[in-house]
């Protein structure tokens, strides 16, 4: 009899017509191919994915052997809002109400943050089915709230989430983190150590093969110059710490060899456009589909991301962007202060201190001065390392061993 895995995550990104899927999908679909019975319980309140039409409170689907249970949940449009918090509670209430008798009995239940509240449902289900419970941490909350959201640690929501986080670390059978140094955070929270397993972000076959070219108009208008292009691709929001990127462009505006390309949309795009749109060395390009990101990056020379200074990064990062960047075969420069990973392991780029414009400009000038062949050699090291060390087929095998305690 094959073993059954329940994976509960309010924010799950399955394969759809418009998307290849996210990390959870890649792991679960690989586990289904390995012979496990995989059941996902998720919500329809995820603004970042292509959602199914919900004509009732529950929708059942099966995609590539993975059973998907969609629960209709309060929707919201602003991430930092009371409506988002209410949506968390609504999801948990719907899990409680869900008739589980028609589902295959789980051998292991994975509760994947966010939302942290799912830990409580996970413990109830663990007791009911006498199965293993695995706590998967994809984003460290409430630390992110206090470090980057401006919340006081005495805020009632923060206190509640802190209690639930601690219970999850104490009472789960295993802890998985997508970040490499979560074990230190768990020790900080509990005051003692527990085994923590890292199952990081990876690369799927579809990410390598399902690449859509850019149309010629887009390519010519936004990426058509012969200058060395430094690109940031992704959301343009407060968490992306892009002031450093734009200030570096200001500092280098006299260098006629270089231009800075910002690809994407977000809450701060208009603000940055009003402030920096008049500079000749900055290009604001529209967002592209996920499977066109590689096509954008292939037209550029150096890829860049940044974060704010934050204790969150002491425990490592698990950014989708880093996977896309390394897969592009371009050198990566990151304004990042924290636990290093992947970029330094592969030797495909550099970390400079977060928030330090001078350090970023210095590093950019170093890479710009390199021969094209040397930049390409450095960038290819990242792609080769990623394909060798982070394929989801390998990560799924590691995942299954932790889930079932083998």
- 314: domain CATH number is 3.40.50.2000
- Residues 287 and 384 placed together within one structural domain of the fold: yes
d(CA 22, CA 228): 31
- Residues 220 and 272 placed together within one structural domain of the fold: yes
Residue 43, pLDDT > 70, answer yes
Copy the structure tokens of residue 232: 């940031």
pLDDT value of position 336: 97
- Residues 300 and 362 placed together within one structural domain of the fold: yes
User: Residue 1: which pLDDT band, with cuts at 50, 70 and 90?
Assistant: low
Copy the structure tokens of residue 275: 């402030």
Q: How many CB atoms sit inside 10 A of residue 129's CB? A: 17
Say which residues have a Cβ less than 8 Å from residue 256's Cβ, sequence separation at least 6.
Answer: 227
- Structural contact between residues 110 and 6, judged by C-beta atoms closer than 8 angstroms: yes
Across the range 140-148, mean pLDDT stands at 93
Model confidence pLDDT, tens digit, residues 180-215: 999 999 999 999 999 999 999 999 988 888 889 999
CA distances from 146 to 3, 118, 194, 214, 236 (A): 39, 20, 24, 40, 21
- Residues 198 and 216 placed together within one structural domain of the fold: no
Q: DSSP state, 327?
A: H
pLDDT value of position 79: 76
- Residues 258 and 349 placed together within one structural domain of the fold: yes
Strand order in the sheet with 349-352: 282-285, 258-263, 228-233, 302-306, 332-335, 349-352
Residue 70: what are its φ and ψ, rounded to 5°? -95, 130
- Residues 197 and 63 placed together within one structural domain of the fold: yes
Copy the structure tokens of residue 149: 């959201």
Across the range 39-52, mean pLDDT stands at 87
Domain count, the chain: 2
- Residues 338 and 396 placed together within one structural domain of the fold: no
- Residues 248 and 179 placed together within one structural domain of the fold: no
pLDDT value of position 294: 94
What share of residues in the chain are helix, strand, coil (percent, to 5)? Answer: 45, 20, 40
- Residues 90 and 77 placed together within one structural domain of the fold: yes
- Among 283, 234, 290, 233, CA closest to 260: 283
- Structural contact between residues 378 and 219, judged by C-beta atoms closer than 8 angstroms: no
The three-state secondary structure class of 405 is coil
- Structural contact between residues 33 and 65, judged by C-beta atoms closer than 8 angstroms: yes
- Residues 231 and 285 placed together within one structural domain of the fold: yes
- Residues 190 and 49 placed together within one structural domain of the fold: yes
Model confidence pLDDT, tens digit, residues 349-401: 999 999 999 999 999 999 999 999 999 999 999 999 999 999 999 999 999 99
User: Residue 34: which pLDDT band, with cuts at 50, 70 and 90?
Assistant: very high
Residue range(s) defining the domain that contains residue 346: 209-389
Copy the structure tokens of residue 400: 């299954």
d(CA 114, CA 19): 21
- Residues 308 and 372 placed together within one structural domain of the fold: yes
Q: How many CB atoms sit inside 10 A of residue 64's CB? A: 14
User: Residue 80: which pLDDT band, with cuts at 50, 70 and 90?
Assistant: confident
Q: Between residues 21 and 59, which one has the greater pLDDT? A: 59
């Amino acid at each position: 009899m094959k073993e059954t895995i329940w994976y509960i995550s309010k924010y799950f990104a399955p394969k759809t017509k418009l998307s290849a899927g996210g990390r959870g999908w890649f792991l679960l679909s690989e586990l289904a191919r390995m012979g496990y019975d995989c059941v996902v319980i998720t919500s329809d309140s995820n603004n970042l994915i292509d959602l199914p039409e919900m004509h009732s409170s529950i929708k059942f689907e099966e995609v590539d052997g993975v059973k998907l249970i969609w629960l209709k949940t309060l929707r919201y449009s602003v991430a930092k809002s009371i409506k988002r918090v209410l949506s968390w509670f609504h999801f948990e209430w719907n899990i409680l109400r869900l008739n589980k008798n028609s589902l295959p009995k789980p051998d292991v239940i994975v509760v994947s943050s966010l939302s942290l509240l799912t830990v409580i449902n996970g413990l109830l289900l663990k007791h009911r089915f006498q199965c293993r419970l695995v706590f998967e941490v994809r984003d460290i909350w409430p630390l992110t709230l206090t470090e980057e959201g401006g919340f006081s640690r005495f805020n009632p929501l923060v206190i509640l989430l802190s209690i639930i986080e601690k219970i999850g670390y104490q009472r789960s059978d295993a802890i998985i983190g997508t970040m490499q140094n979560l074990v230190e955070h768990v020790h900080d929270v509990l005051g003692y150590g527990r085994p923590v397993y890292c199952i990081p972000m990876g690369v799927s076959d579809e990410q390598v093969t399902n690449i859509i070219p850019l149309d010629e108009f887009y390519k010519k208008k936004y990426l058509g110059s012969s200058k060395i292009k430094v690109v940031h691709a992704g959301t343009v929001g407060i968490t992306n710490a892009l002031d450093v990127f734009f200030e570096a462009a200001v500092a280098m505006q006299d260098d006629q060899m270089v231009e800075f390309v910002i690809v994407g949309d977000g809450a701060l795009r208009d603000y940055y456009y009003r402030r920096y749109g008049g500079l000749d060395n900055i290009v604001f390009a529209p967002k592209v589909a996920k499977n066109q990101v590689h096509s954008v990056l292939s037209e550029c020379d150096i890829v860049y991301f940044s974060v704010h200074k934050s204790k969150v990064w002491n425990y490592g990062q698990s950014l989708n962007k880093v996977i896309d960047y390394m897969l592009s075969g371009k050198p990566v420069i990151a304004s990042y202060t924290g636990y290093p990973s992947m970029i330094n392991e592969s030797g495909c780029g550099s970390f400079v201190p977060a928030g330090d414009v001078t350090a970023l400009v210095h590093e950019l000038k170093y890479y710009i001065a390199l021969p094209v062949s040397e930049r390409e050699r450095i960038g290819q090291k990242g792609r080769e390392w990623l394909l060798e060390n982070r394929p989801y087929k390998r990560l799924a095998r590691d995942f299954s061993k932790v889930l079932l305690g083998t």
